[in-house]
Structure 1
Amino acid sequence: MRKMLKTGAVCCLIILEFACGSKSGDTTSPDTTTPPVVQTPQPYPGQLLALTNDATKELVLYDPMITDWNTDAARKWKWTPTTGQGFSANEIKIWGGGTDFKLRKRSFGQDTAIAALCDNSMAAVIGFPSGQRIWSKIINANVHSAELLPDGNIALAASDGNWVRVYAASQGADNGVYAEFPLSQAHAVLWDPGINGIWVTGQDVATKAHILTAVTVGGTTANPVLTELTQYRATLPTAWGHEVSPYYGNTNLLWVTTNGGEYIFNKTTKTFSTAPTNNLTFVKGIGNQPSGQIVLTRPDANKNPRPAVSCTMNDWSTSTVDFYTAGGQWQGARIVSGACFYKVKVVYDNYQ
């Protein structure tokens, strides 16, 4: 039986002619979406939500049952690399708040799980909740997404590096061996036990087509080999693929976002349908709670009008996390003053 993390328990990333820059910070005009009517915040039952915060350079797990996320009560866990956790001075210096975070249930000493995470110029595997370093590496390639594989290795997608890689992190804290699959503007990696492979988004190196596809990991744990599962390749409905997330409650579906829209992908039919949340543009992080509730992050720079409380340090983050019903009706938001959230993840410690 798939086990979800209990809420509140401390347990345990336009269709324009340009690709994404650092953290997918496209310089574009905001759309004309009408802002939802402000409502009194309500508690939302569900899993903890992981947010990457550029402003504080922290990964934070928030409780959606707490209505005011500006309080300590809402923050159930936070992390930034330190020397005490085993990270180098250079890793600490370049850490900018994170571009992805995925928690996976694996016993490791005092920890109940292991997390794969990344930032633009580094990636790491850490124990959870200790935050202790298991593996890490500085990688100057604009790393957008990370995933811990069942064998303990880590998959990464880098948009400037134009690759998807699997590092043999299971072989030691400093191991640098990796397998590579060339993919221009690679943005997402998600392990799927149903296909025994990794879902990825990017552009075909030769044709420049914007695609969602999957790769399988062969070879050995110490020396992995990546091969595309071409039977799963599909052309994205709009350009510049970004996020791929599990659709909890239906293993045949995936959440997929691009700069031009947000979609639900059917693995069997290889078709995309428009997401119920009004097909918003530039969605950086999206997922759903077991109840079906949808949660997402979208840059303040792409909202019109720009929210009164917003992220001003870059054009790819937001101070707001939005909540929608399964049918796409906006329910409310959590707004953190001064925050610059890039990506949101529903904290779920098993694969789907």
Structure 2
Amino acid sequence: MSIRLPGSGPSRRSVLGAAAVLLSPSGLPPGDRSLVLAADQASRRVILVDVNTLPWQGSGTADVRGLAASRLALWSWAGPEDDSWWAVSEAKYRRWRGREWVLSCATGGLAVLVSFPEGRVRWAARPGGNPHSIELLPDGRVVVASAAPGFLRLYSSAAQYVQYDLAGAHGVHWDGPRELLWAVSDSALTAFRAGEGLEPVRSVPLPTPGGHDLAAVAAHPDRLWVTTNRHVYQYSVSSGTFSPAAGDGPGIKSIGDDRRSGQILAVHPDRENPSPWCTSTLTFTRPDGSGRLARTSLYKARWLVRR
């Protein structure tokens, strides 16, 4: 499906149906492999890699030369070749209505929902305001979190939305068992009911300022991963409390645990990367180690578990 974006002039590349999708010659691996979906700002793509093929650096071993993502990527998707797809900031995998989807957005202002692995655009919009995260609701509506000036937008179509102002909105996650939409901002973790609009029903101050990433803890359905400028936490929904978490560190852009292995994946910025808020290295905990993708600038990376 090709979708024309609202506000796009005829001189711009406004139809996303032509965006490239690349599959490795061998296709996707079996569902029991450890796959990672990453937002790569160097290639302006969302890329999929198999962790088992990464050049591995275990704890206490010498560094190894990373392999180029172009050699390891099983799948990739790129948005339009204009400023709206500058600095890819999110990559999420979801299942909806029996099909597989990838959600992505970019600092340049574009947010999309594409079919996986076909890469066909089902929905796209330009909310602007530095989109940092995106979520798909069970009814097919899409929520985008934009960091500046700070808001959540709940879209019923590419052109119709309601907005909730939220300073520094960086992460958004749908909590299916509780039918709540969670969002992390500069100073709080907030839960919303998603009806005709977004109604806040709980707001908890963050232990440290600068909320960034937000995701479910696969091993504990009651908990959420929450990162801030300084630390990584797990938030217990039932008790309403934060606790220190494995993989702690400052400035972590994304973190999550693998439902099958329990291994934790985090993205730590590297000041030597051409984009110092990004990295070329995926950092793992339990077991500890790292895998490097040369010539990438990874902003976020998440486990992709195909049920």
Match of 1:286 among 218, 240, 255: 255
Q: Tell me the number of residue pairs that the alignment of Structure 1 and Structure 2 aligns.
A: 268
User: Structure 2: which amino acid aligns with 1:78?
Assistant: S
214 and 9 in structure 1: CA distance in 2 versus 1, 3 angstrom threshold? farther
CA–CA separation in structure 2 for the residues paired with 1:11 and 1:246:
24
Give 2:257's aligned amino acid: N
Residue of structure 2 aligned with 1:155, choices 140, 143, 165: 143
2:280 is aligned to 319
Among 78, 83, 88, which residue is 1:98 paired with? 88
Change (3 A) 1:179 1:198: same
* SS of residue in 2 equivalent to 1:94: helix
Identity %: 27
Deviates more, 1:286-295 or 1:340-349: 340-349
Distance in structure 2 (CA, Å) of the matches to 1:270 and 1:46: 34
CA drift at 1:131: 1.1
The counterpart of 2:295, out of the listed 338, 342, 345, is 338
Q: Could you tell me how far 1:182 is from its partner in structure 2?
A: 1.5
Moved more, 341-350 or 290-299: 341-350
Paired residues of 1:116 and 1:154 also in contact (CA < 8 A): no
SS at match of 2:185: strand
**Aligned equivalents of 1:349 and 1:198: distance in 2?**
23
Unaligned runs of 5+ in 1: 1-7, 13-44, 83-88, 170-174, 204-209, 220-224, 302-309
CA contact (8 A) 2:68 2:295 kept: no
RMSD of the TM alignment (CA)? 2.2
Letter in 2 for 1:320: T
Aligned counterparts of 1:165 and 1:11: Cα–Cα separation in 2: 35
Structure 1 residue 259 corresponds to structure 2 residue 257: no
Q: Which amino acid aligns with 1:102?
A: K
* Residue 49 (structure 1) shift: 0.6
Say which of 242, 249, 265 aligns to 2:212.
Answer: 242
Q: Which residue of 2 aligns with 1:211?
A: 188
1:11·1:128 contact (CA, 8 Å) conserved in 2? no
**Residues of 1 paired with 2:47 and 2:112: CA distance?**
16
Tell me the amino acid that sits aligned with residue 199 of structure 2.
T
TM normalised by structure 2 equals 0.81
Give, as a single letter, the amino acid of the residue that structure 2 aligns with 1:10. Answer: L
How far the C-alpha of 1:179 sits from its partner, in A, is 1.6
Q: Distance in 1 between matches of 2:89 and 2:289?
A: 24
- Tell me the distance in 1 between the aligned counterparts of 2:297 and 2:235: 28
| SS of residue paired to 1:185 | coil
Instruction: Give yes or no for contact 1:50–1:60 (8 Å, CA) kept in 2.
Output: yes
Kindly indicate whether the alpha-carbon contact (under 8 Å) linking 1:157 and 1:189 is maintained by their aligned counterparts in 2.
Answer: yes
Instruction: Quote the residue 1:179 is aligned against.
Output: 162
Deviation at 1:197, TM superposition (A): 1.3
The Cα offsets for residues 308-351 of structure 1, whole Å up to 9 and x where unpaired, read as xx412x221011110111xxxx621111222110001111468x
Contact 1:115 1:148 (C-alpha < 8 Å) held by counterparts: no
Match of 1:52 in 2: 39
Q: Which residue of 2 aligns with 1:166?
A: 154
Alpha-carbon offset, residue 97 of structure 1: 4.6
Task: Please identify which structure carries the higher strand content.
Answer: 2
Of the two structures, which has the highest relative contact order with CA contacts closer than 8 Å and spacing of 6 or more? Answer: 1
Structure 1 distance, partners of 2:270, 2:69, is 22
CA contact (8 A) 1:295 1:324 kept: yes
Corresponding residue of 1:32: none
What is aligned with 2:182? 199
Residue 25 of structure 1 is matched in structure 2 by none
Q: Which amino acid aligns with 2:171?
A: A
Q: TM (normalized to structure 1)?
A: 0.71
Q: Does 1:228 align with 2:200?
A: yes
SS in 1 for 2:74: strand
Supply the AA of the counterpart residue of 2:284.
Answer: F
CA distance 1:141–1:11, shift in 2 (3 Å): farther
Tell me the equivalent position of 1:274: 244
Q: 1:10 aligned to 28, 48, 52, which one?
A: 28
SS of equivalent to 1:136: strand
Of 101, 115, 120, the match for 1:132: 120
Give the aligned partner of residue 172 of structure 1.
none
Distance across 2 between alignment mates of 1:154 and 1:76: 26
Is 1:266–1:272's contact at 8 Å kept on the other side of the alignment?
yes
